[in-house]
Amino acid sequence: MKVRKGGNHAWLRPLLIVGILLPLIGRGGEVTALTRSEENTIRVFKSVSGGVVNITTTSISRDFFFNPIPSEGSGSGVIVDSRGNIVTSFHVVSGSSSLEVTLADGSRWQARIVSSSRENDLAVIKIDAPPDQLKPVSLGSSKSLRVGQKVLAVGNPFGLGQTLTTGTISSLGRDVKISGDSVIRDVIQADAAINPGNSGGPLINSEGEVVGINTAIFSPTGTSVGIGFAIPADTVRRVLPGLVSLWPKLLSWVVAVVLVGLFIWWFWRRLTVPYRRDWH
């Protein structure tokens, strides 16, 4: 009688290989899967990036012989309405002789300065692009911001348009000296990487709302060290109507003149009461 030393187990080998590879494939899937935070970042960038523009400025200086020397700079801005009004930083457009705006779709448009607020480092420029090419951003509120809250910055650092960086709010209510004796009050400090060219771009919360306009960095090297500053959205909201239209300014002047006139009339009446009594 022959003794069988072993059965035919060749079918077990493929099964064993599959059993070993399945866990590895599963782990690989977990590594490449997006987290909730990453999905939110991608969604917010897609929803806001169309409203962020790149600004190229040209300034003219003179050499010793008064020959014109053009120089270029760059910055960022956010579209605030379908009429082509764009909010940016005052120092981005100050002193420029010409402005060119590049939209997210790559089209380029000549721009002009509408108005500016040096004390708030804000300016409004305008382009005559068709409304269907303009993607206005949603301006949120900065009143409820908290230290540690996630924020995103989109802009044009070093001329590299549509650049996204992420970080958190590091502090609130800062006072920042930007140039000479110019101090901006109550600004937002964030650690999202902000470099030259980011100025005028938006600081965005997880809901896709603009909560600030990036304005300056603190850096001994001139590049990002993780300390950036933004003008709060509530300041932008307060200043914006007067920058976009002259009517609020004119109306405020009219009201001020009327109030001053009424006060002078009342004061004059009070002063002349004794004389009027004597006259009668």
Average pLDDT along the chain, 280 residues, taken 10 residues at a time: 51 61 53 83 94 91 67 90 95 91 94 92 95 94 93 90 92 82 87 89 95 85 80 93 69 70 75 60
Cα–Cα distance measured from residue 86 to residue 47, given in angstroms and rounded to the nearest whole number: 17
Q: Crossing angle for the helix pair 247-271 and 233-244, nearest 10 degrees? A: 90
Cβ atoms of residues 212 and 233 within 8 Å: yes
CA atoms within 13 A on the CB side of 134: 20
Predicted local confidence at residue 237, as pLDDT: 92
Predicted local confidence at residue 30, as pLDDT: 47
Predicted local confidence at residue 253, as pLDDT: 60
Predicted local confidence at residue 1, as pLDDT: 45
In 3D, which of 146, 256, 131 has the Cα closest to residue 211? 146
In 3D, which of 239, 116, 236 has the Cα closest to residue 187? 236
Domain 150-240, CATH homologous superfamily name and number: Trypsin-like serine proteases (2.40.10.10)
Q: Which long-range contacts link 264-267 to residues 24+ away (Cβ below 8 Å)?
A: none
Cα–Cα distance measured from residue 221 to residue 249, given in angstroms and rounded to the nearest whole number: 40
Active site residues: 91, 121, 199
The single-letter DSSP state of residue 31 is H
Tell me the whole-structure pTM to 2 decimals: 0.74
The CATH 2.40.10.10 domain(s) of the chain lie at: 46-133, 150-240
Predicted local confidence at residue 21, as pLDDT: 59
Predicted local confidence at residue 63, as pLDDT: 64
Q: Residue 254 is which amino acid?
A: V
Residue 251, both tokens: 């109306």
Which CATH number, 3.40.50.620, 3.40.50.300, 2.40.10.10, 1.10.150.120, labels domain 46-133? 2.40.10.10
In 3D, which of 62, 78, 15 has the Cα closest to residue 237? 78
Cβ atoms of residues 100 and 110 within 8 Å: yes
Q: Regarding beta strands 228-232 and 52-62, do their DSSP bridges make them parallel or antiparallel, or are they unpaired?
A: unpaired
